[in-house]
Amino acid sequence: MRNDFPKQAQIVIIGGGIMGCSTAYHLMKNGCKDVVLLERAKLTSGTTWHSAAQVRQLRSTESLTKLVQNSVELYSSLEEETGQATGWQQSGSLSIATNPDRLTHIRRQVSLSKAFRIGAEEISVKEASEKWPLMRTDDLVGAVYSPSDGRVGPSDICAALIKGAKSKGLLVYEDTSVTGISTKNGRVSAVQTEQGEIACETVVNCAGIWGRSIAAMVGVTAPLHACEHFYLLTELMDSVTSPLPTLSDHDGHLYLRDEGGGLLVGCFEPKGKALDLEQLPENFAFDLLPEDWDHIEPIIINAIHRIPELEQTGVKMLINGPESFTPDDRFLLGESPELRGFFLGCGMCSVGIASGGGAGQALAEWIIDGEPSMDLWSVDIRRFVPAQNTLRTLRERSPETLSLHYAVSFPGRQHKSSRNLRLSPLHSRLESAGAEFT
Ligand SMILES: Cc1cc2nc3c(=O)[nH]c(=O)nc-3n(C[C@H](O)[C@H](O)[C@H](O)COP(=O)(O)OP(=O)(O)OC[C@H]3O[C@@H](n4cnc5c(N)ncnc54)[C@H](O)[C@@H]3O)c2cc1C
């Protein structure tokens, strides 16, 4: 037991990944005085440390895009503010299309980017090839370039956020696992840890893939499930010389960029793999999951198709890390309708670094003001009902969510998994009359 461990705080944040660090930073920046961040292992040791950390701004709604724009503003200025390097690099992103549907999709993104003030533009295949000389282009039908996207050092950005927050009084306790949460009169009243209990008014669940278990401590719905998530790092390549924009070859389920003199090849594969948390050791920290070369082989074939030089390039490392996905590929933000004072900032669906700066800011404002500062319904925790929170449902749905991440979107798309959780008495009659269910 530590002697300096607080007995009470106004706000307790659980989890020291990007969401916990960003929320803490923004609470302190907005004048909160009495905030404690608890991390079961070390800061960033869950998912954040091994993130590919691309920051692509264009999202499906204006407010989700705004959150990433706020991240970019923060990440590009935090080093100056705190003196801690963040690894922010504005290297841009390049999306390519190999078929007319994808071309329509990326052209729509250009239109949206105008509305959302991002500045993406359609470029010719020849121009795309000049931006990515290693890329095979004979099967491309179009491309879009977005110069203001970038990437960041995921652990560095957390170090900078924590430095900024600590300078304003944030208390951080590592190696301190939250083991229970108490409630009183329908609201949060305390958290229990191995170091002792902290009485508090507000708890913020930023526990990443463990977010559902933390919520379950107080019977709160937090529908998220872990999936395995992959990228590989190649050996050095002489032809990789300058920072390259992140290449999105979504028809091949791929993204690629330079990393350490070679390439980073990441994917959202067409058939994702759910991960049961029971498979992880209790002390899982700065850890990875076992390699699965059979699973990743089709992606490697696609990558070699796009970058032929990869055929002669060795693989330095295959990263397989856990990440949480929700039933609709959008994260969980805001105060639970089931318990006052219990806020969520988790289930980040592999956009946690891109969205984390802005999402932490939005969550901090929500905690302070009692309501969100913009329309955040698409990520608001209140959109889910308990029926969507069973393990069976989530285990089926989360790999589908992952695999649709790069799919061409169209109005009215329906998920195939975890359907018919609740049926109306008229269901079979409607079905036989040809109804579509959504
Ligand atoms: C391979 C891979 C590539 C990715 N690439 C990108 C990318 O290019 N761009 C992007 O935006 N995102 C990317 N992501 C996703 C991004 O990394 C995550 O969304 C983000 O890091 C999640 O942050 P978090 O704070 O929600 O969770 P975490 O970083 O996991 O933090 C949660 C913390 O909570 C702590 N915790 C859990 N239980 C307790 C407890 N009981 N008590 C105290 N603490 C607890 C954990 O130890 C952990 O440190 C990628 C992810 C993976 C796996």
280-321 residue pLDDT tens: 999 999 999 999 999 999 999 999 999 999 999 999 999 999
Task: Assign residue 54 a region (left: φ > 0; alpha: ψ between -120 and 50; beta: otherwise).
Answer: beta
110-163 residue pLDDT tens: 999 999 889 899 999 999 999 999 999 999 999 999 999 999 999 999 999 999
Residue 117's SS3 state is coil
Residue 176 pLDDT: 97
Cα of 323 to ligand 1 centre, how many Å? 6
**CB-count burial class (<10 Å; 0-12, 13-18, 19+) for 365:** middle
Q: Whose CA is nearest to atom 26 of ligand 1?
A: 208
Structural domains present in the chain: 11-56+154-223+328-395 (3.50.50.60), 90-149+226-325 (3.30.9.10)
Q: Whose CA is nearest to atom 16 of ligand 1?
A: 352
From the list 210, 178, 246, 251, the residue with the least C-alpha distance to 344 is 210
Distance CA 395, CA 335 (A): 24
Cα of 213 to ligand 1 centre, how many Å? 15
Q: Whose CA is nearest to atom 2 of ligand 1?
A: 51
Residue 340 pLDDT: 98
Contact (Cβ atoms closer than 8 angstroms) between residue 68 and residue 82? no
387-403 residue pLDDT tens: 999 999 999 999 999 99
Q: For ligand 1, pick from 13, 38, 47 the residue to mutate: most ligand atoms within 8 Å of CB.
A: 47
List all residues whose CB is within 6 A of at least one atom of ligand 1. 14-20, 38-41, 45-48, 51-54, 177-178, 206-210, 214, 229, 231, 319, 321, 323, 346, 348, 350-354
From the list 248, 278, 226, the residue with the least C-alpha distance to 406 is 248
pTM of the model: 0.97
Distance CA 359, CA 63 (A): 10
Band of pLDDT at residue 1, cut at 50, 70 and 90: low
Mean residue pLDDT across the chain? 96
Contact (Cβ atoms closer than 8 angstroms) between residue 161 and residue 22? yes
Q: Whose CA is nearest to atom 21 of ligand 1?
A: 48
Contact (Cβ atoms closer than 8 angstroms) between residue 227 and residue 293? no
